[in-house]
Amino acid sequence: MNPTNHNTRPGTDGNESSARFSLLVGIAAVAFSLLYLASDVIEAAQGGFSTGQLAMTYAAEAAIPFFVLGLYVVQRPRIGLLGFAGAITYAYAYVFYVGTVVYALVDSISDFDMLNDQMGAWMLVHGVIMVLAGLAFGTAVIRARVLPAWTGVTLMLGVALVAASSAAPQAVQAAAAGVRALAFIAMGAALLRANVK
């Protein structure tokens, strides 16, 4: 990415609407990833769910499909079919996860273990989908060379760590989620930097 050439900035093709879209995607990726991370930290600190914490999780997870698809759009056409498949599949996984948050709120589920027991195999299936989608999208980001390659690597590492730590203590799970959040925060920050130059 050459920041001195306007046409090579991520999400810009020389027109104002494209630059504005890229800026909004960047803001959303940073803000909602931070909110999601904050909800994970609160959950770990209090040892389970609470209404306020679940509301934060809901807001963050509901935004994820939109900003991930936005991150795909700002890297077109270089991100290719793998990036499209990864973004669509990752977005789908989080539509499911938003539904689990609603379920937890309505049924007063006390913690993730209880939610996992209630959802059964559906949580495992969508966890696998999320990991595969994150690996695909991360690989596509690296190949596209529109956003920093390390953000794609970090996303891949993050989704793998989230899956690997699913049975670990909540503090470990929050740390793993922090790696994934860092990837999206950095992608968003790259878009913000590109749009202020």
**Residue ranges per structural domain of the chain:** 6-196
Average pLDDT over residues 13-21: 79
Backbone angles phi, psi at 10, to 5 degrees: -60, 130
Note the pLDDT of residue 9: 57
Kindly tell me the burial class for residue 107, based on how many C-beta atoms sit within 10 Å of its own C-beta (0-12, 13-18, 19 or more): exposed
Note the pLDDT of residue 187: 98
| Alpha carbon 153 to chain centroid, angstroms | 14
Q: CA 73, CA 60: separation in Å to the nearest integer?
A: 20
Cβ neighbours of residue 146 under 8 Å, at least 6 residues apart? 1, 10, 74, 75, 78, 79
Q: Which of 3-12, 149-158, 164-173, 181-190 has the lowest mean pLDDT?
A: 3-12
Does the pLDDT of residue 71 top 90, yes or no? yes
Note the pLDDT of residue 22: 94
Note the pLDDT of residue 147: 97
Q: CA 159, CA 75: separation in Å to the nearest integer?
A: 21
Q: CA 172, CA 115: separation in Å to the nearest integer?
A: 18
Can you give the pTM of this predicted structure? 0.88
